[in-house]
Amino acid sequence: MIILDAIILFYKRSKILMKKNVTGSKIQEIRANKKITQEEMVARLQSYGFDISRSSYAKIESHIRQVKDLELQFIAKALNVEVGKLFE
């Protein structure tokens, strides 16, 4: 039973540390290089029909929130880059 408890504890801790997406850092880098604030980015996304809050968007950049493929298309459009650029 002790070994099982240790395995469960390890799993829970590692799950917390796992990234929810692989594009967050690149999205943040591109946005910052283009001198776009998170608020401006969210406004762009909303103008394209992607209803997202600044808090949810920040979670994408912080790897806390998963990103769907359609959402990546909106993000790439808002940053004026190809989707593939988000994976470099």
pTM of the predicted structure, to 2 decimals: 0.79
Domains of the chain: 20-87 (1.10.260.40)
Q: Average pLDDT for residues 61-88, to the nearest whole number? A: 96
At 56 the pLDDT is 97
User: 38-47 and 69-79 are packed helices; what angle lies between their axes, rounded to 10 degrees?
Assistant: 110
pLDDT digits 0-9 by tens, 52-70: 999 999 999 999 899 999 9
User: Could you tell me which residue, 52 or 10, shows the higher pLDDT?
Assistant: 52
User: Could you tell me which residue, 4 or 38, shows the higher pLDDT?
Assistant: 38
